[in-house]
Amino acid sequence: MKRIRIDEKYCMGCRLCEVHCIVQHSKTKNILKTYMEEYPKPATRILVEEKGYVTFALQCRHCEDAPCLDACMTGAMYRDKKTGAVLCNEDKCVGCWMCIMTCPFGVISRSPDKKSIASKCDLCMGEDVPVCVKNCPNEALKYEDSKD
């Protein structure tokens, strides 16, 4: 499947990926309206990790043996058959947060804009390239086929 590859050598830590992720998952998908008018605005589904000068943007790895899939008691977490992405069916999610507990990367969070919904990277379904990849100014994120 196509995955987002992180190149930490060239991540500047500007966090533009976070900004564009928030906008992409907002109601209007307009950057000014998202930040100025939406409250609460959506959570970012990509997080820039920082230690010293090393920075990199981490989002759901869409694991092959995703523990969140096993942990989800309602079956809200599912694997998209077409793309292989791990997605969350918001209608089924009851907010038990077991996915958050089991995620080894810590990339699932509680959605601040909706009650009791797990928020995670959906690879920007519907877009050719996820917005974090498209808007990374230094091409530190790449969207490519992974061999595994």
Q: What is the DSSP letter of 17?
A: H
Alpha-carbon gap, residue 108 to 66, rounded angstroms: 12
> Which residue number, 18 or 122, has a Cβ lying nearer to another protein?
18
> Do 3 and 62 contact (CB within 8 A), yes or no?
yes
| Binding-site string for another protein from residue 23 to residue 62, where x marks contact by CB under 8 A and - marks none | --------xx--xx----------------x---------
- Phi/psi at 119 (5° precision): -115, 125
CA atoms within 13 A of residue 14's CA, in its CB half-sphere: 15
Mark the segment that binds another protein (CB under 8 A) among 16-24, 59-67, 71-79, 100-108.
16-24
To which residue do tokens 């970012």 refer? 44
Q: Least distance to another protein from the beta carbon of 146, Å?
A: 19
Q: Answer yes or no whether residue 69 interacts with another protein by CB under 8 A.
A: no
Q: Answer yes or no whether residue 11 interacts with another protein by CB under 8 A.
A: yes
Mark the segment that binds another protein (CB under 8 A) among 6-14, 57-65, 72-80, 110-118.
6-14
Residue 109: which H helix or E strand, with range? strand 109-110
| Binding-site string for another protein from residue 109 to residue 138, where x marks contact by CB under 8 A and - marks none | --------------------------x-xx
DSSP secondary structure string for all residues of 67-100 = HHHHH-SSS-EEE-TTT--EEE-TTT-----HHH
> Which residue number, 13 or 84, has a Cβ lying nearer to another protein?
13
Can you give the binding site for another protein, defined by CB under 8 A? 7, 9-16, 19-20, 31-32, 35-36, 53, 135, 137-140
